[in-house]
Structure 1
Amino acid sequence: METRVDFFSWLDYDMLMRILMCLEDPSDLVRVSSVSRSWREFVVANGLFKQLCLRMFPWLHRVDRVIEPNCCVKNSSEVGCSKSVEWETLEREHRVYAFLARGCTLFARREDCIAGALSASSTDNYPEESIRNTLEPHDRVLRRASYWSSKGQSNPAVPETLTYKLVADICVITEISVRPFQAFFQWGSPIYSAKSVRFRMGHPKAPVDDPMGEPCDNFADDNFVWTYTSPEFAMAQENRLQKFELPEPVLCIGGILQVELLGRVQKQEMDGLFYICVSHVQVVGRPLSPPFSVEILEPSGKFVLKASSYTPPLLAENGSCPGPNAYFEGPARDLEQILHLLRGEGVVVEYDWNEEDELDDEMAL
């Protein structure tokens, strides 16, 4: 066809929205917004990136407002009328949510998302059996057993909790692993597992102590607001790291994780009481800091989403620092191009379009 037509002008608003709301990959929306000015204005005006993020992470409904890096904020004298102010807000949300959506899939995946231990509901012998031992991947350190142990209970239904601070105040968590402890120094080498486990994520009501400080016992749940609670997962009476994959990726806002250990299985022969013991807890996810941070607005529970930088964190998949050209290869290079586009710098994004699919000069940016 020598004559090309913008099909946006042929469809009504409801049909266009129905089509574009079917796009689930952020790259597809970037492609749509890069076709022409009119297509980009439609994406921005209808907040399609924001709506995509809300479908990915419903917890973002609690966002009060978004903030960009200072270098991207326009002077108020440049804004002008209220209509310009409204459009600038839409543009800002477009850039921030687009970077967030893409970052949730391209930022480095880490298997060590715990920054430190905050508290345990109880500890049998402190500090020998402290929750801090659960940060070690091995159940023996320097030939000594490394594990956390609850206090003994005659009622096997009494639960226990372990609370941790994550490496970022905002991160995407996909799976959590727990390894019960096998007491190799007791007769029969019993395994002190819980019957099941459940996970909660949220944020503190007030700043918490340094996670590298001394963890405490029985830190009241009233100090936290839990925004997510997982299903209950059955645990096996086995001495291995048991992986529990969440039904869907969870956006943890506030950086607090609590492991709920439900039900007791093993009774200690010495005193006839039931105990739960854990040797290691591991959290897998994608920290979204330092590019993103959050400010909790109490008592409403809403928060400010801050894009502190539009630069992807310099961290490779294995946790090492990449080479100087790493961000111009593969997916990271794609993200770099997307950032240029979102800033309106007119960079041509090199998608693998066929020549016959290219638009004519009137439709190009």
Structure 2
Amino acid sequence: MIKPLKDASNTSAEWERNKINHRVYAFLARGLSSTIEKSCLSEAICASSTDNYPEESMQNTLEPRDRVERRASYWSSKGQSDPEVPETLLYRLASKLCVVTEIHVQPFQAYFQFGFPIYSAKAVRFRMGHPKSPMEMDSEAFDKSQTGSESADGNFVWTYTSPEFPMVQENCLQKLKLPEPVLCIGGILQVELLGRVQRQEMDGLFYICVSHVKVLGRPLLSPFDVEIDDASGKCALKYRPIAEGPESSLSSAKDEDGGPHSRLRTLSAMLMLRGVRSWEQIILSRIRGAGASVDSNESEDELPA
């Protein structure tokens, strides 16, 4: 929520408030990475099941190659007699605030089995959101403890669910573009693998295997962070300046009144998410090429405290 001026009913006061709003959102837009990342994934958290841990752990899906040091690199579910049993993979994104545009999934082809079967899912769906409470476990321990458990899904609040995307039974990186860019607040991605198509010859059970998962989008740069109130679900934007080089677009040699750090600290004090629509619109507008910007004159002005 933007901090209003005292006399908002006055026309000139309303104009001044709009100018402040413009500058605040412009500095927020500057905090987004200016280029499309190769991948916005930070780490693998847990899988709904894993056949052989850690050899077939979902940690392997962060590796773009399906062979590492002459060994196969992939995640495998446990086998099921029912081909409709789904699986889920849970990831942490590179930032608690990311704009995601595409997600790529590559099924695994078992080149060491007769006939070189491909263990793809019938379809895939994506969810994004945030934890209900802070996550303190490291990814390796969490992955191992949650294997074979359905309880992990209840630990998160999902704010976005994609449509289902059909998958083809091919050993290739299948690029799935979301209908429109999605603002993920909280930095958690769930990949839902729906349905099984390949039965393993040796035991007659259906499996899903994934070689690689990749996410394209724009994360919020590191000086910014998002904090979520577990009880209310409200979010606050925080700015935590770090030591940066003199050429950084979000830093300056001095942190004095009117400088970039001063204005960005003001942004942290002035913005509070009671709903995400204002942030969502300004950030998605930037991704589409029509975002807020600060001209050379405005950039020298100090945001009111």
Fold equivalence (TM over 0.5):
yes
Q: Does 1:296 align with 2:220?
A: no
Superimposed CA distance per residue, residues 323-364 of structure 1 (whole angstroms, 9 cap, x where no aligned partner): 95999xxxxxx999537615526xxxxxxxxxxxxxxxxxxx
Name the CA distance, whole Å, in 1 between partners of 2:56 and 2:7.
Answer: 61
Task: Give the TM-score taking structure 1 as reference length.
Answer: 0.62
Give matches, 1:303-314, under 5 Å.
Answer: 303-308=235-240
CA RMSD of aligned residues (A): 3.3
Q: Does 1:206 align with 2:133?
A: yes
Give the partner amino acid of 1:95: R
Name the CA distance, whole Å, in 2 between partners of 1:273 and 1:342.
Answer: 62
Name the CA distance, whole Å, in 2 between partners of 1:142 and 1:234.
Answer: 32
Q: Which among 135, 141, 153 is matched to residue 221 of structure 1?
A: 153
Corresponding position of 2:215? 283
Give the partner amino acid of 2:166: A
Q: Does 1:96 align with 2:24?
A: yes
Contact kept? 2:23, 2:294, Cα under 8 Å: no
Alignment gaps of 5+ in structure 2: 251-290
- Residues 325 and 262 (structure 1 numbering): CA distance in 2 closer, same or farther, change over 3 Å? closer
Give the partner amino acid of 2:298: L
- Residues 283 and 339 (structure 1 numbering): CA distance in 2 closer, same or farther, change over 3 Å? farther
Q: Which among 157, 162, 171 is matched to residue 239 of structure 1?
A: 171
Superimposed CA distance per residue, residues 122-174 of structure 1 (whole angstroms, 9 cap, x where no aligned partner): 00000000010001000101100110000000000000000001110101111
Corresponding position of 2:205? 273
Identity of matched residues, %: 61
- Residues 66 and 303 (structure 1 numbering): CA distance in 2 closer, same or farther, change over 3 Å? farther
Name the CA distance, whole Å, in 1 between partners of 2:187 and 2:2.
Answer: 19
Contact kept? 1:169, 1:253, Cα under 8 Å: yes
Residue 240 of structure 1: how far off its partner (Å): 0.5
Alignment gaps of 5+ in structure 1: 1-64, 68-78, 315-322, 328-333, 346-365
Aligned length: 253
Q: Which among 82, 85, 89 is matched to residue 162 of structure 1?
A: 89
Give the partner amino acid of 1:247: P
Contact kept? 2:26, 2:294, Cα under 8 Å: no
**Higher share in helix:** 1
Give the partner amino acid of 1:198: R
Contact kept? 1:66, 1:304, Cα under 8 Å: no
Name the CA distance, whole Å, in 2 between partners of 1:194 and 1:340.
Answer: 54
Contact kept? 2:31, 2:221, Cα under 8 Å: no
Q: Does 1:341 align with 2:298?
A: yes
Contact kept? 1:148, 1:278, Cα under 8 Å: yes
Higher relative contact order (CA 8 A, sep 6+): 2
